[in-house]
Copies of this chain bind each other. A is one copy, B any other.
Amino acid sequence: MATQPVSDVVINRLPLYLRMLTFLQREGKTITSSQELSERLDFSSAQIRKDLSYFGEFGKQGTGYNIEYLQKQLRQILHVDHDWEVVLVGAGDLGRALVHYQGFAPQGFKLVAIFDNAPQKIGMTVGDLVVQTMTELPRVVRSKNVRIAILAVPEEVAQQVADELIELGIRAILCYASITLSVPSDVKVHYIDPVAGMQSMMYYL
């Protein structure tokens, strides 16, 4: 645990360090350095050392970081050293692509249910899941004590669905709707907005 408040910007970089450590490990490496991470991630090595220093001493000057140890520590810091169950709302193209996405499970995010309110989608099989009606949402979220939801619904209904999820105890929302949600201060939202990403790159073209 950090001994002082750490900014969101720093926290957002930790998963990138974790991901790069996994790549380096796959390449057969067991030790890395802030210099190597810097070259691979395009952040300065000073920034990497500073980010990590909020949470402790993970390497020694001159000997670098033990990859497996640093991975384990980062997983503990981020609370991803155990599995998390996730519900998904929205069984459109995007929702179905997310169920088929191979990236969540290996990182401990288990999609346990998918919901939609369109009658023609209810009962449809998507991967290992069956689309359930929104009226089942409270039962599923409460019985499994789920804290995380993915919102893959149109922006017109995103706030309303978010309100319902938060009411049921959801505290982290991965939001694909192109909207800024109003949420209580104890709820985290991470937005996936390809348009905003595109627009910010255009600045440099």
Q: Are A41 and B180 in contact (CB under 8 A)?
A: yes
Q: Are B104 and A200 in contact (CB under 8 A)?
A: no
Is A190 located at the chain interface by the 8 A CB criterion? yes
C-alpha spacing A179/B15, complex, angstroms: 12
Q: Are B200 and A14 in contact (CB under 8 A)?
A: yes
C-alpha spacing A77/B41, complex, angstroms: 27
Which residue of chain B has the shortest Cβ distance to A107 in the bound complex? B195
Q: Are A195 and B9 in contact (CB under 8 A)?
A: no
Chain A residues close to B by CB (< 8 Å): 8-9, 11-12, 14-16, 18-20, 23, 40-42, 77-80, 84, 86, 93-94, 96-98, 100-101, 103-104, 107, 109, 147-148, 150, 171-172, 174, 178-180, 182, 188-190, 192-205
